[in-house]
Structure 1
């Protein structure tokens, strides 16, 4: 590994030497792009594992197929209006779904569930909240988002991003990986979906810019980017969701906008384009949101568990989880939480 900058003079003044070296090591993972995606994923997963604390139990589970089928029925109903621009492969039940329960030894009794995710996982968490709300299904006690939602905001494109962040500033994040079973299957699926959309000529496409550039994201066609469950920030209303804690670093504008839209549904509105399912949304009650902005932190900075910002962030997460899993109702305001010193103000 080579350090391109003088370690004694870090690119970001708030970084200490250990943090800078860790960032340089992560940035060097760009070399993984020369490997098939299956190998690159395994190397990255093994090298970024965080040790589980001694008071935490992680229990692996397999989703019961009966519940998986129920989920599929709800999804088919909710996604029907978007079927012309999405890949139907998600319907194939050709493998089991696995997950984990993360339990604190000091609290084995779960009163409520809290959903948490980082980066793409945070986007999935927000999408899940929206879908559960829209389908009239029970909502979790709260959610934690360690995220950046889209590539449409200025914080993704500033000049400093190339030097100090681990997320490449190109549409779609990166080029296609070298040939491998996964990469070849992806390319074939993209081509098939593109042909399907050309034949259907769907009216769901909401803005000309969605079709004038190459495919932006791996997980959906450009024509599907304004579906709220693909880009939660674009939902007509983000009200009536459970309490949410957002923690963001340098890539912050998407999450700031999302937070204000959720907390003030009537004030922060955007064009609904061609997706009409939220135009007359009944979800107008404000969502309780705590937004924490950590200056100078790069994308996925929570993996640097040795750093003070990460330790503070995890402590905040613990405080938030403790509160939302113990409240008896949803009438407690965020101001009340702050007054009780259960959750701390933004950094």
Structure 2
């Protein structure tokens, strides 16, 4: 465990963990998160295309295109659909750029980070509907399933897995693989690690997930497989790449999915990082373990995908030419 990782865990234990023991204040959490966001520079040779829509103007029809693209100049031969974490009620593509920028450049993939609708204003299945629709739109726009990977962290990791299950059930061609960082896959909070790692996890107390889950579930059951994919039939899914920390309260949300997926014949790579915090790849600019995690993820993405030069040309042309009130191109010199 690196010094950087120890310092980050020390900071989380003193700043983030105490807040998870109190009542859930959605507005306060969102405001604090917005203040703390550190935005990395857009990588050289890449373009950031932001296409956000005001929440009060967004609906199910345009939600799949709300978010941001990181696109390599000239296009890349593969595509990643990224679903950010945040308990389904906070964070955004902007808060997760340390992951998305690092992953896209390492994997040589154009990456679309979806700004899916958040709870409690938009409870289940709004986020799932948006993720499924975003994937379908990528296919409709010319990306081939064999060149696509779905990725996500925490709630976004659970959402990525649920999206795979929903796509399979709908008969939609599945992506080449999926990346799940510390996924929240059991909104019923039944994993043994919820109790066993309570007090060891530097970020979350054990009972916070049972208090957050109703914000997203609304009237739905916590064991609905589209909300909690640990309860889903996982047969026929593409290869999974999963990471979680050994002291996470959500550790069993990863381990149980890995075990059930393998039992269903799915190829699974599951790494458990000793003493590493929840979604540690997000600390890539500062933590060597995080940089190695992104390196390993990129190798997985490249291995499972088939490069698609035709789709690369189709994707890059409209992204270079399109402009409008809700689209903004950022270059390294203009990014913050």
Q: Name the TM-score class by shorter chain.
A: 0.5 to 0.7
Q: How does 1:1-347 map to 2 (within 5 A)?
A: 17-24=6-13, 26-27=15-16, 30=19, 37-52=26-41, 54-55=43-44, 56-61=46-51, 93=60, 96-97=63-64, 98-105=66-73, 108-110=76-78, 112-146=147-181, 147-150=183-186, 151-158=189-196, 160-170=197-207, 172=209, 174=211, 217-221=214-218, 224-235=221-232, 237-250=233-246, 251-265=250-264, 286-305=265-284, 306-326=286-306
Distance 2:2 2:69 in 1: 38
The verdict on how the C-alpha distance between 1:20 and 1:227 changes in structure 2, with shifts beyond 3 A counting, is: closer
Determine the C-alpha separation between the residues in 1 that align with 2:61 and 2:27: 19
TM-score, normalised relative to structure 2: 0.58
Which 5+ residue runs of structure 1 have no aligned equivalent? 1-11, 64-91, 176-215, 266-285, 329-347
CA distance in 1, matches of 2:274, 2:214: 27
Q: State the SS of the aligned residue for 2:162.
A: helix
Provide the rounded CA distance (Å) in 1 between the counterparts of 2:174 and 2:24: 40
Residues 259 and 16 (structure 1), Cα distance of their counterparts in 2 relative to 1, 3 Å cut: closer
Q: Distance in 2 between matches of 1:23 and 1:314?
A: 21
Partner Cα distance (1:126, 1:321) in 2: 16
Displacement of 1:127: 0.7
Q: Distance in 1 between matches of 2:49 and 2:220?
A: 39
Gaps of 5+ in 2: 54-58, 79-143, 309-336
Question: Displacement of 1:39 after TM fit?
Answer: 4.0
Offset at residue 263 of structure 1 (A): 1.9
Higher relative contact order (CA 8 A, sep 6+): 2
Distance 1:100 1:227 in 2: 30
Q: Which has the higher strand share?
A: 2
Q: 2:278 aligns to what SS in structure 1? A: coil
**1:312 Cα offset (Å):** 1.0
Match of 2:236, SS? coil
Distance 1:31 1:218, change over 3 A: closer
CA contact (8 A) 1:168 1:174 kept: no
Quick one: distance in 2 between partners of 1:143 and 1:304? 20
Q: TM-score, normalised by structure 1?
A: 0.56
What is the count of residue pairs matched by the alignment? 228
Residue matched to 1:189: none
